Amino acid sequence: MTQPAEAVERLRAAEFRAVGSNQTAKAIGKGRAEVVFVAKDADRRVLEGVLAAARDRGVEVVEVGSMRELGRVCGIAVGASAAAILSSA
């Protein structure tokens, strides 16, 4: 399993990524998500769809400390409940 710090750096450097629970869930559904990140302090009801889709598709899920941290890693000024590194295809 990837260490969270290493995975977060991969997300920061990723060329293609999805940010937010809706975009992340869609990317998982399309088979483009390689690794999914969820914030520990995000509302679990918001993450239910993302976590279920990741489990169904066998996509690795990495927990990040907070929504604020996940948003910052993704380069946005607000928190993010979920994000994913996407394949280029």
Query: Whose CA is closest to 51, among 78, 24, 72?
Result: 24
CATH 1.10.3720.10 at 4-86, yes or no? no
3-state DSSP assignment of residue 86: strand
pLDDT digits (tens, 9 = 90+) for 38-55: 999 999 999 999 999 999
pLDDT digits (tens, 9 = 90+) for 6-40: 888 899 999 999 999 999 999 999 999 999 999 99
Chain mean position to CA 40: 12
Domain limits, the chain: 4-86
Two structure tokens written together for 29: 């559904």
| Cβ atoms within 10 Å, residue 36 | 27
Q: How far apart, in whole angstroms, are the C-alpha atoms of residue 49 and residue 28?
A: 10
Rounded alpha-carbon distances, angstroms, from residue 18 to 5, 56, 62: 19, 18, 14
pTM for this predicted structure: 0.92
